[in-house]
Chains A and B, each alone.
Chain A
Amino acid sequence: FVGVGGGNDFQWCFSQVKGAIDEDVAEADIISTVEFNYSGELLATGDKGGRVVIFQREQESKNRPHSRGEYNVYSTFQSHEPEFDYLKSLEIEEKINKIRWLPQQNAAHSLLSTNDKTIKLWKISQRDKRAEGYNLKDEDGRLRDPFRITSLRVPVLLPMDRMVEASPRRIFANAHTYHINSISVNSDHETYLSADDLRVNLWHLEITDRSFNIVDIKPANMEELTEVITAAECHPHQCNVFVYSSSKGTIRLCDMRAAALCDRQSKFFEEPEDPSSRSFFSEIISSISDVKFSHSGRYMMTRDYLSVKVWDLNMENRPVETYQVHEYLRSKLCSLYENDCIFDKFECCWNGADSAIMTGSYNNFFRMFDRNTRRDVTLEASRENSKPRAILKARKVSTGGKRKKDEISVDSLDFNKKILHTAWHPKENVIAVAATNNLYIFQDKIN
């Protein structure tokens, strides 16, 4: 099994599952993004209904030393509402496309959440104390009659039930003509970038009425449009460097010091196509759905339809590692094109040590790859394996004619159960997996 360091006795166990159990899934409850904050103490999810739910990890209890702290709901708020563009008679979805946490600077927590058009900065603060014994007003808040005040007292802080409130502090609107697919906080903690299908903009966190356009791939004549931006991310350490991926399977690394408009990339990453496997679907499956820098900043990982690739930033002509996620789908591409599954955008993530990577698949399967041992495992997020601390069993999809006992055949896979969003705790072996409207949390079993 796979894990940090890849010890032989490493296993994943079920920890928690959040969300409704019943079969009828409300569209609004479908989780559309999952993200741990920098410490891993908070876990945020966004859904199609425009809501953000933040879970907080409880302190480890002495009673149950073997089970790590559980994640419980910390705050829930409506981040985005549906809007209607009357001019074009089109709806603007409230679905949260991405959430990115800001580094914590004071007692409050801040995050950026975005739908297709508008990015919002939310501040989540908690109060668990209140002051009592004011001089000028009484407990109801009404002003006291000054003549009645005969003595002076110092207000005291008393504990109260914890109250968490989220308030929108900044709204970054009207900067994107096309649908926003990515946001990424810069390492300078002052700026962030947002990317839509054709443009990338750079914002200052304090300034909402303007942004800088740093990439624009819109052709003068829209008839010539053949490529769009699919994802973008800031480098984790170099605040002048960012990358963006395209629907043609290329990644461009740009240096903002080179020019105001980063139309000419500093580096261009593309793997030459294998002519023997060329088909009408080659371009579609090469389209990159997610790009993530490693924590070290030395590598980046891209996800296309069938594989995950790790790139060394110093080598542009091919990835250093390629992992097949579900190669058995290659012969089914026509059906997957027909039912639109071929356009599903899977995300991928690194573990804290950059030694393992994880990504989702169909049938509520998700895959993990250990970069050191080159071992991989397929696990499933399902209610059946939901007993506390139950060890997750490795799953296997049978590709040949003969199907072994515990294997599942390709044709039995449920393509409606797709795991598009996963997240790995920045420091520990805790993972969050979004399966439609349920959020599964798994952690490693300490032996």
Chain B
Amino acid sequence: MRYSYQRRTCAIARAKMFPKGTKRKFSDSREEPVAGGEDVNQSSLAAVRMLSSYSLQRQSLLDMSLIKLQLCHMLVEPNLCRSVLIANTVRQIQEEMTQDGTWQIMTQALSAANAAAQCSADRLVATEVLCRQTEAAQGEQVPKPFPVVGSEGCPAEEVLEEEEEAAAAEVGMTMSTVSPQAPTSYLPGTFGMDPCWEEEETGEDDDDDDEEEEEDSEECGSGSEGEERERDSLVEDTRTAEQVFGTFEIKNPAPSPDPALEELFSDVDASYYDLDTVLTGMQSVPKMGPYDLLESLSSHGPSPLSSSTSCRSDLNELDHIMEIIVGS
């Protein structure tokens, strides 16, 4: 798959840039087809010259911060204060790295790797931006949160990818691609949160976002999404920040500006948002909100949308499905 190939080349580029490993590490990377060619070698030499323990420390702090921002906060909303402080730290590091030129070197190396891998930087940004829902929308395996190399303090997270270091590298790399154009635009993507309800501007986008929401809550990015979703994600890039920070907004059960939603909630008592109520009022409007969720998840038994009479009888079904989502 092209996606994982891109990530591997990024890892190679990175490994060449900061060869802190042993010979073995170097030879490991040589087994892969080196897609950078001469350009990568030249930029890596320059980087090596700049190496100092401070740079390494700074880089590891950057990696640590990015991973902290990416951690899978599944059940409870993450602490906004903590996230903002980490994001500010990342910004500080990036500013400093820009000033002493390290950032540009990373950018060059990444561009070289990109060119060799025959894909545009934009495409790389789109696919690898640290926003989890974007990746989920790709239908790709979402890189699960991974411990920082050498960091015992990070909470243990599932590791799905073998190239966990590669993922960390790519995270760092994608930032560099984004930065020349928009220094801060990558940051919100690092939160990787579910899209906010209010971001679903049109009815037809709801499907996509609902799918993403469903996937995120499943803690698994795999799905059957195709090219369509990738294109959608490119569009969504520009508003990842809003989505990410926006997820901290809780939607009060007040009517939303979306006409489809208004219709949905028109006969629902807004003061008490309860899945039961919405469910029973929903039978005429097929695909909206958690119903996509239910449809795709329910593998047995009648769909809760079939009729109002079966709604009540399927509430056990609903509980079961909710349990799956919550992962309890």
Contacts and interface: CB of A to CB of B under 8 A. Distances in A.
Contacts of B245: 222-223, 225
Given A88-B247, A343-B79, A223 B153 contact: no
B296 to A, nearest CB: 14
B280 interface: no
B251 A87 contact: yes
B281 interface: no
Contact of A222 (B89, B188, B217): B188
Contact of B80 (A89, A178, A340): A178
B320 to A, nearest CB: 15
B153 A287 contact: no
A174 interface: yes
A226 B241 CA distance: 13
B85 A89 contact: no
B252 A197 contact: no
A154 interface: no
A284 B89 contact: yes
A236 to B, nearest CB: 26
Given A247-B85, A287-B85, A339-B153, A88 B275 contact: no
Nearest to A283: B88
Contact of B76 (A91, A287, A337): A91
Contacts of B222: none
A413 B167 CA distance: 34
B82 A343 contact: yes
Nearest to B289: A87
Given A90-B76, A174-B252, A221-B241, A343 B85 contact: yes
Nearest to B244: A222
A225 B248 CA distance: 12
Contacts of A221: 241-242
B77 A283 contact: no
Interface in A206-245: 221-228, 230
B153 A335 contact: yes
A179 interface: yes
A371 to B, nearest CB: 29
Contacts of A284: 85, 89
A280 B289 CA distance: 42
B67 to A, nearest CB: 10
Contact of A87 (B151, B248, B290, B326): B290
Interface size class for chain B? 35 or more
Nearest to A198: B80
A227 to B, nearest CB: 7
A338 B151 contact: yes
B283 interface: no
A434 B36 CA distance: 57
Contact of A223 (B64, B93, B241, B252): B241
Nearest to B188: A223
Interface in B69-122: 75-77, 79-82, 84-85, 87-89, 91-93
Q: Is the interface of A mostly helix, strand, loop or mixed?
A: loop
Nearest to A228: B81
B325 interface: yes
A411 B186 CA distance: 37
A105 B194 CA distance: 46
Interface residues of A, number: 40
A259 to B, nearest CB: 25
A222 B198 CA distance: 13
Interface string B238-280: 0001101111111110000000000000000000010100000
Nearest to B82: A343
Interface in A168-209: 174, 177-179, 197-198
A280 B93 contact: yes
B216 interface: yes
Given A87-B251, A91-B75, A221-B241, A337 B64 contact: yes
B88 A338 contact: no
B187 interface: yes
Nearest to B65: A337
B250 A225 contact: no
B128 interface: no
Given A88-B247, A338-B153, A338-B154, A225 B92 contact: no
A117 interface: yes
A230 B81 contact: yes
Interface string B212-239: 0100110000000000000000000000
Given A177-B250, A197-B80, A86 B92 contact: no
Interface in A55-100: 84-93
A223 B89 contact: no
A178 B248 contact: yes
A334 interface: yes
**Residue among B89, B248, B325, B326 with the highest chain A CB neighbour number at 10 A:** B248
Interface string A323-360: 00000000000110111100100000000000000000
B61 A280 contact: yes
Contacts of B273: 86-87
Given A225-B84, A228-B84, A179 B79 contact: yes
B190 to A, nearest CB: 12
B184 interface: yes
Contacts of A174: 252
B303 interface: no
A85 B247 CA distance: 12
B188 A86 contact: no
Contact of B217 (A89, A197, A227, A281): A89
Contacts of A197: 80-81, 248
Contacts of B249: 177-178
**Residue among A280, A339, A340 with the highest chain B CB neighbour number at 10 A:** A280
A88 B80 contact: no
B184 A223 contact: yes
A50 to B, nearest CB: 14
13 contacts: A87-B289, A90-B194, A91-B75, A116-B77, A178-B248, A179-B79, A198-B80, A225-B245, A227-B84, A228-B84, A280-B58, A280-B93, A340-B82
Given A86-B273, A281-B89, A338-B148, 9 more contacts: A84-B322, A84-B326, A88-B247, A89-B217, A223-B245, A227-B84, A228-B80, A283-B92, A343-B82
Interface of B: 57-58, 61, 64, 68, 75-77, 79-82, 84-85, 87-89, 91-93, 148, 151, 153-154, 184-185, 187-188, 194, 196-197, 213, 216-217, 241-242, 244-252, 273, 275, 289-290, 322, 325-326
Shortest Cβ-Cβ A-B pairs, 7 listed: A222-B245, A339-B153, A223-B241, A338-B153, A89-B217, A197-B80, A91-B75
